[in-house]
C-alpha cells in the first residue's frame, strides 16, 4: 500500500499588491497535466493584519505568476534595433563598462536609478547601498515619490519623523473615521470590510465621513459625504479647525504641553470662516458643521487618507492639516485615534525604512545630516565622505536631467513609468535622449521596455525571499517557494553582483537575503523604525511582527502605536502645528480647459496591469476604461452615454468611452490610470497630467489637471 501523502505545508507570505498587506497562504495544487505546479491561494487566518481576509487581487495572484514573463537578459544598442538575448555575463560586463566610463567622465551625478515600493526591503536596501554608498550618487528615487512622499514629508514636518502612528485595531476602536482622499472600498478593500462590519454592528454609533469629489463605493457606506471641489482639502480642514475653536473643543493642556506653533494656526483658522470654506469647497455649510460636531463628539477620531491627499501640489500641507486637527484635540497616540496614512504599495513602508528616496538614508535618516552619513558609511564599510551631502535627483528631476542630456544611464526597476508618470510624452522624449536605459522587470512587453536598451529579467515575489512592511508597521517574511523562470534573478542579487564587479567585493558579499536584512536591521537601533530585534529567522518562526521591535523584544512584543507618551520625534519633543494657507490646484480649470480631470483606480486592476490584465475574473469585472462625466457636463459638451469622447489637456489628448453619472461632482471628470499604450484599449490618462509638484515632498499633482471634452 502506498503511504498517504501528508498535505503539503502552505507557504505564507504578505500579499504583493496593496499596502493593507494581508497574509496569504499558498498551497501547491497538484495537477499532473500542468507544466508547472499551480498554486491555490487563501487568506492566512494567523496573520494579525488581515485575519484570513483577502480581496479579488490577492485571491487571484497565483494566476499571474507564470504568464508572459521575461526570462533572459535582452539587449539592443539603439532603440530602433530589435532586442537580442545576451547572458548575464555580458549584461554585467556592459553595465560595468558604462558605469566606469561615466564615473571617469561626467561623474556619479550622471547615473540614476528609479525603483519601487514593490521591491522587497532587501532589493531596496542593496540598490540604495550601491548608488548612495558605492557609486557616490544619491540619485536613487522610487515610485513612492508619486505615492507616499507627501505622507513622509508631512509626518516628518509635523511629528519630527516619518512613521504612521496608528494600527489596524484602531479601526475597531474609533467612534469617528474620517476617510479623506481615499477610495478605501476599491483600494484597501480588506480594511474597508472591517469598517463595514463595524457599521453593520453599531449603526450610527460609529460614524464614517468621506471627503472625495466623487461619490464612490466608499462614500456609499458613509454617514456623511463631503464632495469637495478637487484640491480644496486644506481649506476644508481650516474650516473644521475654525469650528473646533469656536465651539471650545480644543485640548488646551495637550496643546500647551506637547505642541508648538499654536498661535499662528489659530490666526490662520480664524481667517477661514465656515461660510467662506463651504463656498470654496462647494459644499453646504451644515455638512461642514456636522463634521466638526462629530469630531468634537468623538472619544476617538481616526483619519485615514491616501492619494486624494498625497498627490497634490500642496500634499504635504494637506497631511499636516490633518495632523493639526488630531494634535489640537489630543486625538493621537491613544487607541482608536490618530492620523493614519494608508500606504499604497505592498512595501512602500519598507522602502521608507531602508531610505528609498533620493533625500533619505536607512533607518529614517537623511543624506543632508553629516552624522547620519557617517553612521551609514561606517556600517556599510565605505570611506568617510563616500555618501554625497546633497539630496539626489527626485524622479522628475531625473527626467529633466535626461532632457538636458545629463544622464548617461537611467536604471528603472519594478515600476512602469511610461504608464504611471505624469506628462508621459515628455518622459518618452527624455528617455530617448538617454544613451542607456536599463529596465529590471518581471514581465515581457511593458510600455517602459519599449524605450529601454537593456532588459534584466527579475525574479518576483514568491521566487525570492525578503520582507515587506504594511501600513500598520507590520513586517512579514515572504519566502521563495517557486522557481524563477529561465534566468530571472532577484533584484537585490543583481545589484550585489554588480557592486562586487565594480570592486566592492566585501561590501556586497551576502550569503542570502537574510544576511542583507540582518545588515539593515543593525542600522536601525534606536531609530523610530527600530527593527534591530527582527530577522528572517524570527519572522519565519514567529510570524509577522510590528515595529518598533528593538533587539531583545519578545515575539509579539512590537509596539502597536507610536507616541503613546506624547513625546514626538522633534528636538523639543513637541509636535509642530503648521499654519499653511490653502493654495488650491496648480493647474486650475479655465475657460479653455473648464473641467478638472482626476485619475485613480478600479478594484480589480493593479496599476499598469502587467499582472491583472491576465486574470479573466478581473478583466470581466473591468473590461475597459471609462470616462466618468456628470450629466450637466455631458450635456454642455454634447456627449452621450456609451459614446467615445476625446479628453484634451494642455499636454495632449486621449479617447475614452463616456459613462454619464451623477456620482461625480459637476466640473470634475474621472479616468482610471490602468490602461497603458500596450493595452488593446489603451487610454493613457497620464499623457494629460502635469508634473507640477509639492515643494516639500516633490510629489506631483497626479490627481488633477485642467481638461476639456469633445465628442468624437
Ligand atoms: N484596486 C487597486 N487597489 C490599489 C492599487 C491599485 O492599483 N488597484 N494601488 C495601490 C496604491 S500604490 C495606492 S497609492 C492606493 C491608492 O488608493 P486611493 O488613494 O484610495 O485611490 P485613488 O483611486 O488613486 O484615489 C482616491 C480618491 O481620491 C479622490 N480625489 C481626487 N482628488 C481629490 C481631492 O482633491 N481631494 C480629495 N479629498 N479626494 C480627491 C478620487 O476621486 C479618488 O476616489 O491604492 C492601492 N490599492
Ligand atoms: N494620474 C495618476 N498617475 C499615477 C497614480 C494616480 O493615482 N494617478 N498613482 C501613482 C502611484 S500612487 C503609484 S504607486 C504608481 C504605480 O505605477 P507603477 O509603479 O508604474 O505600476 P506597476 O504596474 O505596479 O509597476 C510595477 C512594475 O514592476 C514589475 N514587477 C513586479 N514585481 C517585480 C519584481 O520583483 N522586480 C522587478 N524588477 N519588477 C517587478 C511589474 O511587472 C510592473 O511592470 O503610479 C502613479 N501614477
Ligand atoms: S486588500 Fe490589498 S493586501 Fe489584501 S488581498 Fe487585497 S490587494 Fe492584497
Ligand atoms: Mo501608490
pLDDT at site 421: 98
Is the distance from CB of 427 to CB of 130 less than 8 angstroms?
Answer: no
Can you tell me whether residue 498 is helix, strand or coil? Answer: helix
Nearest CA to ligand 1 atom 13: 344
Q: Which residues pair with 595 in a beta bridge?
A: 707
Q: How far is the CA of 182 from the centre of ligand 3 (A)?
A: 15
Cα 502 from Cα 91, distance rounded (Å): 13
Q: Which residues pair with 660 in a beta bridge?
A: 629
The values of phi and psi at residue 69, to 5°, are -85, 150
Q: How far is the CA of 310 from the centre of ligand 1 (A)?
A: 10
Q: Kindly state the cell numbers that stand for 122.
A: 532587501
pLDDT tens-digit series, residues 547-603 = 999 999 999 999 999 999 999 999 999 999 999 999 999 999 999 999 999 999 999
What is the H or E stretch that residue 26 is in? Answer: strand 23-29
Q: Kindly state the cell numbers that stand for 320.
A: 499636516
Mutation choice for ligand 2 from 18, 127, 143, 214, CB with most ligand atoms inside 8 A: 143
CATH number of 151-342: 3.40.228.10
pLDDT tens-digit series, residues 332-373 = 999 999 999 999 999 999 999 999 999 999 999 999 999 999
What are the b/e assignments for 385-421, b being 16+ CB within 10 Å? ebbbeebbbbbbbbbbbbbeebbbbbbbbbbbbbbbb
**Mean pLDDT, residues 318-343:** 98
pLDDT at site 35: 63
Pairing of the two strands 38-43 and 436-441:
unpaired
Q: Does residue 603 have its Cβ closer than 6 Å to ligand 1?
A: yes
Nearest CA to ligand 2 atom 37: 414
Q: How far is the CA of 607 from the centre of ligand 2 (A)?
A: 6
Instruction: Please identify, by atom number, the ligand 1 atom nearest to the C-alpha of residue 345.
Output: 12
**Mean pLDDT, residues 182-201:** 98
CATH number of 595-711: 2.40.40.20
pLDDT at site 178: 98
Closest by CA position to 171, among listed 190, 143, 152 = 190
pLDDT at site 7: 59
Q: Give the number of the ligand closest to the Cα of residue 13.
A: 3
Cα 476 from Cα 364, distance rounded (Å): 19
pLDDT tens-digit series, residues 63-109 = 999 999 999 999 999 999 999 999 999 999 999 999 999 999 999 99
Q: Does residue 17 have its Cβ closer than 6 Å to ligand 3?
A: yes
Instruction: Please identify, by atom number, the ligand 1 atom nearest to the C-alpha of residue 147.
Output: 14
**Mean pLDDT, residues 30-55:** 87
Q: Does residue 18 have its Cβ closer than 6 Å to ligand 3?
A: yes
pLDDT tens-digit series, residues 439-489 = 999 999 999 999 999 999 999 999 999 999 999 999 999 999 999 999 999
Q: How far is the CA of 304 from the centre of ligand 1 (A)?
A: 12
pLDDT > 60? residue 528: yes
pLDDT > 70? residue 4: no
Q: Does residue 499 have its Cβ closer than 6 Å to ligand 1?
A: no
Nearest CA to ligand 1 atom 14: 344
Mutation choice for ligand 1 from 14, 164, 181, CB with most ligand atoms inside 8 A: 181
pLDDT tens-digit series, residues 232-287 = 999 999 999 999 999 999 999 999 999 999 999 999 999 999 999 999 999 999 99
Q: Does residue 189 have its Cβ closer than 6 Å to ligand 3?
A: yes
Read off the pLDDT band of 9 (50, 70, 90). confident
pLDDT at site 33: 65
Look over the chain and give the mean of its residue pLDDT values, rounded to a whole number: 97
- What residues line ligand 2, using a CB cutoff of 6 Å? 116, 118, 143, 146-147, 307, 311, 344-345, 413-417, 419-420, 440-443, 446, 458, 460-461, 491, 599-600, 606-608, 610, 673, 685-686, 689, 702
pLDDT > 50? residue 1: no
Cα 242 from Cα 382, distance rounded (Å): 52
Cα 73 from Cα 439, distance rounded (Å): 10
Strand (E) positions, 445-601?
454-457, 466-469, 474-478, 545-546, 575-576, 595-600
pLDDT tens-digit series, residues 617-655 = 999 999 999 999 999 999 999 999 999 999 999 999 999
Mutation choice for ligand 1 from 212, 420, 622, CB with most ligand atoms inside 8 A: 212
Nearest CA to ligand 1 atom 15: 344
**Mean pLDDT, residues 378-397:** 98
Q: Kindly state the cell numbers that stand for 497.
A: 553582483
pLDDT tens-digit series, residues 100-148 = 999 999 999 999 999 999 999 999 999 999 999 999 999 999 999 999 9
Instruction: Please identify, by atom number, the ligand 1 atom nearest to the C-alpha of residue 230.
Output: 35
DSSP string, 614-666: G-HHHHHH--S-EEEE-HHHHHHTT--TTSEEEEEETTEEEEEEEEE-TTBPT
Q: Give the number of the ligand closest to the Cα of residue 582.
A: 1
CATH number of 74-147+346-461+491-511: 3.40.50.740
Q: Kindly state the cell numbers that stand for 234.
A: 486644506
Q: Does residue 20 have its Cβ closer than 6 Å to ligand 3?
A: yes
Read off the pLDDT band of 6 (50, 70, 90). low
Mutation choice for ligand 3 from 14, 16, 17, 25, CB with most ligand atoms inside 8 A: 17
Q: How far is the CA of 346 from the centre of ligand 4 (A)?
A: 9
pLDDT > 80? residue 5: no
Q: What are the sequence ranges of the domains in the chain?
A: 74-147+346-461+491-511, 151-342, 595-711
Nearest CA to ligand 1 atom 17: 187
Is the distance from CB of 127 to CB of 520 less than 8 angstroms?
Answer: no
pLDDT at site 38: 84
**Mean pLDDT, residues 166-184:** 98
- Residue 133 is classified by DSSP as I
**Mean pLDDT, residues 176-195:** 98
Instruction: Please identify, by atom number, the ligand 2 atom nearest to the C-alpha of residue 419.
Output: 20
Nearest CA to ligand 2 atom 32: 460
Per the model's pLDDT, the better-predicted residue between 95 and 5 turns out to be: 95
Amino acid at each position: 500500500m502506498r503511504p498517504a501523502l501528508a498535505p503539503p505545508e502552505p507557504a505564507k507570505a504578505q500579499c504583493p499588491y496593496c499596502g493593507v498587506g494581508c497574509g496569504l497562504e499558498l498551497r501547491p495544487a497538484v495537477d499532473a497535466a500542468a507544466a508547472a505546479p499551480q498554486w491555490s491561494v487563501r487568506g492566512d487566518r494567523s496573520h494579525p493584519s488581515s485575519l484570513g481576509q483577502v480581496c479579488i487581487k490577492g485571491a487571484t495572484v497565483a494566476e499571474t505568476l507564470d504568464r508572459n514573463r521575461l526570462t533572459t537578459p535582452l539587449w539592443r544598442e539603439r532603440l530602433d534595433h530589435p532586442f537580442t538575448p545576451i547572458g548575464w555575463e555580458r549584461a554585467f560586463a556592459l553595465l560595468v563598462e558604462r558605469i566606469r566610463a561615466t564615473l571617469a567622465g561626467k561623474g556619479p551625478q550622471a547615473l540614476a536609478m528609479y525603483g519601487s515600493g514593490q521591491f522587497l526591503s532587501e532589493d531596496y536596501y542593496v540598490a540604495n547601498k550601491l548608488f548612495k554608498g558605492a557609486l557616490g550618487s544619491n540619485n536613487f528615487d522610487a515610485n513612492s515619490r508619486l505615492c507616499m512622499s507627501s505622507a513622509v514629508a508631512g509626518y516628518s514636518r509635523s511629528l519630527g519623523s516619518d512613521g504612521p502612528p496608528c494600527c489596524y485595531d484602531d479601526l475597531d476602536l474609533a467612534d469617528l473615521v474620517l476617510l479623506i482622499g481615499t477610495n478605501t472600498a476599491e483600494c484597501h478593500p480588506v480594511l474597508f470590510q472591517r469598517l463595514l462590519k463595524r457599521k453593520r454592528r453599531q449603526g450610527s454609533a460609529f460614524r464614517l465621513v468621506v471627503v472625495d469629489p466623487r461619490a464612490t463605493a466608499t462614500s456609499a457606506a458613509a454617514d456623511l459625504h463631503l464632495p469637495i471641489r478637487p484640491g480644496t482639502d486644506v481649506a476644508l480642514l481650516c474650516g473644521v479647525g475654525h469650528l473646533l475653536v469656536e465651539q471650545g473643543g480644543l485640548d488646551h493642556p495637550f496643546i500647551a504641553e506637547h505642541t508648538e506653533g499654536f498661535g499662528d494656526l489659530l490666526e490662520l483658522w480664524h481667517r477661514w470662516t465656515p461660510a467662506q470654506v463651504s463656498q470654496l469647497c462647494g459644499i453646504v455649510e451644515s455638512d461642514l458643521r456636522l463634521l466638526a460636531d462629530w469630531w468634537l463628539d468623538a472619544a476617538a477620531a481616526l483619519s485615514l487618507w491616501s492619494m486624494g491627499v498625497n498627490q497634490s501640489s500642496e500634499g504635504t500641507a494637506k497631511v499636516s492639516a490633518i495632523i493639526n486637527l488630531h494634535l489640537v484635540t489630543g486625538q493621537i497616540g491613544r487607541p482608536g485615534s490618530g492620523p493614519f496614512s494608508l500606504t499604497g504599495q505592498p512595501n512602500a513602508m519598507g522602502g521608507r525604512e531602508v531610505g528609498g528616496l533620493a533625500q533619505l538614508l536607512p533607518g529614517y535618516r537623511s543624506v543632508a545630516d553629516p552624522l547620519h552619513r557617517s553612521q551609514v558609511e561606517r556600517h556599510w564599510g565605505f570611506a568617510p565622505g563616500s555618501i554625497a551631502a546633497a539630496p539626489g535627483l527626485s524622479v522628475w528631476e531625473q527626467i529633466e536631467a535626461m532632457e538636458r542630456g545629463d544622464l548617461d544611464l537611467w536604471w528603472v526597476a519594478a515600476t512602469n513609468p511610461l504608464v504611471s508618470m505624469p506628462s508621459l510624452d515628455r518622459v518618452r522624449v527624455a528617455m530617448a535622449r538617454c544613451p542607456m536605459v536599463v529596465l529590471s522587470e518581471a514581465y515581457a512587453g511593458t510600455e517602459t521596455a519599449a524605450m529601454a536598451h537593456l532588459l534584466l529579467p527579475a525574479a518576483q515575489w514568491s521566487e525570492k525571499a525578503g520582507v515587506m512592511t504594511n501600513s500598520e508597521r507590520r513586517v512579514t517574511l515572504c519566502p521563495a517557494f517557486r522557481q524563477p523562470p529561465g534566468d530571472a534573478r532577484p533584484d537585490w542579487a543583481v545589484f550585489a553582483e554588480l557592486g562586487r564587479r565594480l570592486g566592492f567585493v566585501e561590501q556586497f558579499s551576502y550569503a542570502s537575503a537574510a544576511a542583507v536584512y540582518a545588515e539593515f536591521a543593525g542600522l536601525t537601533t534606536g531609530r523610530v523604525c527600530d527593527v534591530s530585534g527582527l530577522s528572517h529567522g524570527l519572522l519565519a518562526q514567529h510570524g509577522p511582527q510590528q515595529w518598533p521591535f528593538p533587539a531583545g523584544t519578545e515575539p509579539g512584543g512590537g509596539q502597536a502605536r507610536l507616541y503613546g507618551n506624547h513625546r514626538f520625534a522633534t528636538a523639543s519633543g513637541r509636535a509642530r502645528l503648521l499654519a499653511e494657507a490653502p493654495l488650491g490646484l496648480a493647474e486650475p480649470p479655465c475657460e479653455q480647459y473648464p473641467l478638472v480631470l482626476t485619475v485613480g483606480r478600479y478594484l480589480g486592476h493593479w496599476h499598469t496591469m502587467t499582472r491583472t490584465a491576465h486574470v479573466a475574473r478581473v478583466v470581466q469585472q473591468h473590461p475597459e476604461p471609462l470616462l466618468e462625466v456628470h450629466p450637466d457636463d455631458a450635456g454642455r459638451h454634447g456627449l452621450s452615454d456609451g459614446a467615445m469622447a476625446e479628453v484634451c489637456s494642455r499636454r495632449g489628448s486621449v479617447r475614452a468611452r463616456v459613462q454619464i453619472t451623477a456620482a461625480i461632482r459637476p466640473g470634475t471628470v474621472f479616468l482610471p490610470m490602468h490602461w497603458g499604450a500596450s493595452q488593446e484599449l489603451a487610454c493613457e490618462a497620464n499623457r494629460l497630467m502635469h508634473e507640477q509638484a509639492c515643494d516639500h515632498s516633490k510629489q506631483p499633482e497626479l490627481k488633477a489637471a485642467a481638461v476639456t471634452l469633445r465628442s468624437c
